[in-house]
Amino acid sequence: MEVNNLEEDNLEEDNLEENYLNEQEERNNSETNDGKEKGFDDLMNYLYEDAKPKKKSNFKSFIAIALVASVISSSVVGGVLYSRFSSELKNQSLLSQNTVFSGTTNQLNSDKTNTEGAVRTALTQGSSVVGIRMTIANSGSAFPGASQGNGTSEGSGIIISQDGYIMTNYHVVSYADTKNGASGNATLEVFLPDKRQAKAKFIGGDSVNDLAVIKIDMVNLPVAELGDSSKLEVGEPAIAIGNPLGMEFAGSVTVGVISALNRKVDTGNSTMNLIQTDAAINPGNSGGALVNSQGQIVGINSAKISEAGVEGLVFAIPISDAKPIIDQLILFGYIKGRPLIGISGKDITETIAKQYNLQVGVYVTDVSQGSGAEQAGVKNGDILVGMDGKEVKTINDMDSIKKSHKVGDTVSVTIIRQGNKKDLNLTFSEEK
């Protein structure tokens, strides 16, 4: 995948070390070999820190992605299979009666009876909300620097077809993406409310919009009824169904209101328009359903603001925005027509640049085979400092320029290679 998926990099540290040491020697011929090795190690730790196994998140630091009960790790996570699902969603004990109106100027005129009625209606969708477990069998080579052992993460999903298609958040199943270097070691399992279990296949994913589709080989499954999120109104009831903290609390229901619409949230890859609600969600709820009082799914629970002193700021992807993306993922496995540069990289900040005598820009850690970047001649270790006549200091700068172009457009790219500036012509390929 592009730019932000450093996990899939095949590190070529030998070549990078040679380049770096040559630059160090030019800067300071009196520096000792021990000093050079230490400086290189520090630089490599910075440039490739994201290649180590850890929880992936495209959201900025102030937003906690509600993904896992246990974060992907190199330690062995218990071998006891999930053995219990809530027998009937109507018996759930984790109901929130919170109807506080968060961040709006209107008042919610609803009593306890109306709230309970909305919950009963929403629970008709419960049979279509499933648990998802992703397990990584780590041999020690899938993740550079990782020790042996298995890692697991758990989230939620929504059945959208009788023959087993399930939509969820991309970050719930990202390691199973075939574009990810760890996909060969990843196993997906789905847990249905009726206690059936099935192995799932990754169909397609979109990290920019944090959406993915997986599939299980089952038929006659209960299908979610999708609503129209464009008709939502601030103040109406909102019911979240999912698996907070993982499978142990599967099928949990919380109740709140629609706090705001079209909240613009910077995800790092893009700015998304999200539904804001105060229906409580926690790690493990990601990919689960946000339901209206008519029992229709109007959003996919994705994130919350997790900060000291902050409560009730939860975000969901509007279902009307998600549906066309989900349709493309089912048909093609990717979003057609999206331009691709074809590199993974790391920002070289002013501080890092001064410390290691490098140029501010995007350090290229990997070049995708067959991409426009490869055909243009971009190589690992290059520092990209300009594109389309504009200065590039960060990955966000590069992506902003890319968004103004389409597949097939050609732009100039300026790189620094071993201290020398070089201009190349790059033609955007299609992201797949």
Q: Catalytic residue positions? A: 171, 210, 286
Distance CA 339, CA 351 (A): 31
Tokens encoding 423: 């201009």
Strand partners, 247: none
Strand partners, 191: 131, 197
Distance CA 207, CA 212 (A): 8
CB 292 within 8 A of CB 238: yes
Tokens encoding 343: 């590199």
CA separation, residue 206 to residues 44, 154, 315, 338 (Å)? 29, 19, 18, 11
Q: Return phi, psi of residue 234, to 5°.
A: -60, 130
Counting DSSP H helices and E strands in the chain, the numbers are 8, 21
Give SS3 for 432: coil
Beta strand extents in 25-148 (DSSP E only): 63-65, 129-138
Question: Residue written as tokens 């990782």?
Answer: 146
CB 395 within 8 A of CB 299: no
Distance CA 186, CA 203 (A): 14
CA separation, residue 294 to residues 73, 129, 159, 205 (Å)? 40, 16, 18, 29
Q: Which amino acid is at 284?
A: G
Cα torsion 301, 305, 310, 315: sign: negative
> What helix, strand, coil percent values describe the chain, rounded to 5?
25, 30, 45
Q: Return phi, psi of residue 27, to 5°.
A: -70, -40
Distance CA 179, CA 384 (A): 23
Tokens encoding 151: 């890692």
Distance CA 17, CA 5 (A): 22
CA separation, residue 414 to residues 167, 285, 391, 399, 421 (Å)? 40, 43, 9, 15, 7
